[in-house]
Amino acid sequence: TPTRKGGTLPLHGAHTAFSCYPALRLYRLSKSPRGIDVVSLTLGNSWGLIGRNGAGKSTLLKLICGILSPYKGNVSVHGTIAPLIELGAGLDSRLTAVENIFLNGALLGHSKKYMKEHFSEIIDFADLGNFLDMPIKNYSSGMRARLGFSIATTVCPDILVVDEVLSVGDATFRKKCEQRMEKMLSSGTTLLFVSHSEREIERLCKNALWLDHGEIVMSGPSEDVCFAYSETLKSNAAEKALTSAISDHLPRLTVVGAGYVGLVTAAAFASMGYSVICTDTDTKKIKILQEHGCPFFEPQLEELLNYHSKRLRFTSDASQAYREPDVVILSVGTPESPDGSANLHYIYQALQDICDHIDYETTIIIKSTVPPGTSEKIKEFLQKNSKPSAYFHVVSNPEFLSQGSAVRDIFSASRIIIGTESKEDAAFMERLYKPFHLPIVSVSRASAEMIKYASNGFLALKISYINEIANLCEQTGADIQEVVLGMGKDPRIGFRFLRAGIGYGGACFPKDTKALRRLAVSNGGDFLTIKAAIDANTRQQLKLIEKARKYYKCFHGLTVTFLGITFKPNTDDLRGAPSLSCATVLLNEGAKLKIWDPLGAPQFRQLMGNAVELHESIENALCDSDLCMIFTEWKEICNLDPQIFQCRMKMPIVLDGRNCFELSDMYDRQIYYDSIGRKAIIPDNNTSFHQEHSDNIA
């Protein structure tokens, strides 16, 4: 049962209760193909319901309020509800005035006397009149929402349900409504708000549900849900315009590779109306996709794949994948070779499959990261190995997606790079990308390939540079955050990629910087700045180990907690993560590791073995630890009360590799707090630490 300070709003039997829309599947909250039995919305938060007409928003609200006969008994809601929902004149006889304060339209035709008889105990009519800026009397239908909202917000219920109320009245009244809603939220009221405007939802609500024909397509932070919803509306409009403008069929696409780049690319083109087949040799991955899952975590991706599933197919059968594509997009991995160069084995494996199955004119788009000159070699390979009737156009089209924001990146890219050797190929690519409405930069194939390496290399340089500055700040007494503030104001520099930490990781920067340097060496030179960035990043990834040795002579027998282990938040990817390097050192020296991470913990155990303990809560992970290392700036970590370190740890030594906390939050606490590029916070006197660890104090 919830309280005003928190709790949940359970909707028991939601799948059954929503039987007027039998397609309801809350697959974002459950893997069950039949939907789920319980949905929980956290009280004290604001939830916006968004969707087109007929999406089922109002119906779901009425179910929650228990006022849609005959389903009232199937939905269990705890707390006082004020539902502002259009039901016509008259009060619902099943609802008391105290439990359900006001229904939009309930006072139509009722007198002031009737209102006072039913609501005088819970409504301050003087305050209500002041809020309305007019006397209380009978109102026409155009005033019902204003009056209903005024009464409900005066009462300040546990749960306020608002269905399009802010669509009436002038701007001044709507502003007053918003201000009162904000005040109610601050006091613990839960808001369930329906609007056709994603901007209004994003402005007023912390979280959002996107509905379509009774199905919850997506749930989560309102910013992410509203972005996905608006982009889908735009893509649907683009699809209609594109379909009507082209008399022939849209090009059929086959995307090779079901990794981050391949799946995001496939989903994005499907959202624009294209028919897409995605193929991969990993049969387990394909099976997950065929069952409407996603083989890895990427925000909004699973929802996008499922929403456009009618235009998406997944297969590991090459004969199916290459039966009839007009365009083949290569998005396979190019991992690092032992010498640092890009391994193109998977590229040529896919090209051989293409040659074996396609016997007509086709465009091959190279989206994988490959060294300059690779597209020309691919062209030669295809000419040598293809069937006589086949002809292949080869285009370079590098991607610039960031893990954790890849879906947003592909729809709002700063530019689309197209590398071709003919005007015809360039024109074809511009038509292919026309629905995205993004800037296009058309260059040669070799230049397009170099742009990818040059961009990633420069960003890696920027990260390593600011980390080196941060290290110097620690030695000189400067504060890296103040330094970045002064640097970033310069428009020639900017703020992006100037966040000091423990180095870059992931699938791209580590391998691309090494491949770029190897490319320079193989051409008779060297790349000294990139070499310096690589070396600096290797050292920086062990920065927390270096700091830990200031507190302990050795790690044998220590219990060390890792908070966050992925290379960045909003991903489960551990490739190149600094946590792996540090874990190896600690385990080799006899430390015990306790891990908390919302996504990456199971994979971490697979890599590091059963010597690590996985914990579902930060509190348990910190319990009785001698040392805490923060590797990832997950919001759960950034929102922690620092007192938890002092209360839960045996020795509250916190080494923050991502500067998750302000230094001011650590003053006047018995916590050792050592971050990146800032002065360390050392308690004035901690005799217990010195007594307990006298043999191991550095």
Could you list the active site residues?
Answer: 508
Contacts of 401 (CB under 8 A, 6+ apart): 260, 261, 264, 409, 410
Contact 605, 596 (CB under 8 A): no
Tokens of 303: 């929802």
Residue 594, strand partner residues: 561, 613
Separation between Cα atoms, residue 176 and residue 169, nearest integer Å: 11
Q: Which long-range contacts (CB under 8 A, 24 or more apart) does 292-297 make?
A: 292/27, 292/33, 293/31, 294/263, 295/258, 296/259, 296/260, 296/572, 296/573, 297/570, 297/571, 297/572, 297/599
Closest CA to 159 of 47, 38, 55: 47
Peptide bond into 70 cis (omega under 30): yes
Q: Give DSSP secondary structure letters for 5-35.
A: TB-EEEEETHHHHTTTSTT---TTT---TT-
Work out the angle between the directed axes of helices 171-186 and 144-155 (0-180°, nearest 10). Answer: 20
Alpha helices in 477-540 (DSSP H): 480-488, 509-522, 528-540
Please give the helix or strand (H or E) that residue 353 lies within, else none. Answer: helix 345-357
Separation between Cα atoms, residue 681 and residue 692, nearest integer Å: 20
Contact 89, 103 (CB under 8 A): no
575: which DSSP letter?
Answer: T
Alpha helices in 523-671 (DSSP H): 528-540, 543-548, 578-588, 601-608, 618-622, 635-638, 643-648
Tell me the CA distances in angstroms from 561 to 149, 215, 591, 597, 625, one per residue in order.
49, 41, 10, 11, 6
Please give the helix or strand (H or E) that residue 355 lies within, else none. Answer: helix 345-357
Work out the burial of residue 83: count CB atoms within 10 Å of its CB; fewer than 13 is exposed, 13-18 middle, 19 or more buried: buried
162: which DSSP letter?
Answer: E
Contact 194, 163 (CB under 8 A): yes
Work out whether the CA dihedral 365, 369, 373, 374 comes out positive or negative: negative
Tokens of 53: 């007409």
Work out the angle between the directed axes of helices 260-271 and 222-245 (0-180°, nearest 10). Answer: 60
Q: Are strands 361-366 and 327-330 parallel, antiparallel or unpaired?
A: parallel
Contacts of 266 (CB under 8 A, 6+ apart): 253, 255, 258, 276, 278, 305, 312
Work out whether the CA dihedral 514, 265, 603, 640 comes out positive or negative: positive
Work out whether the CA dihedral 510, 514, 519, 520 comes out positive or negative: positive
Please give the helix or strand (H or E) that residue 193 lies within, else none. Answer: strand 190-194
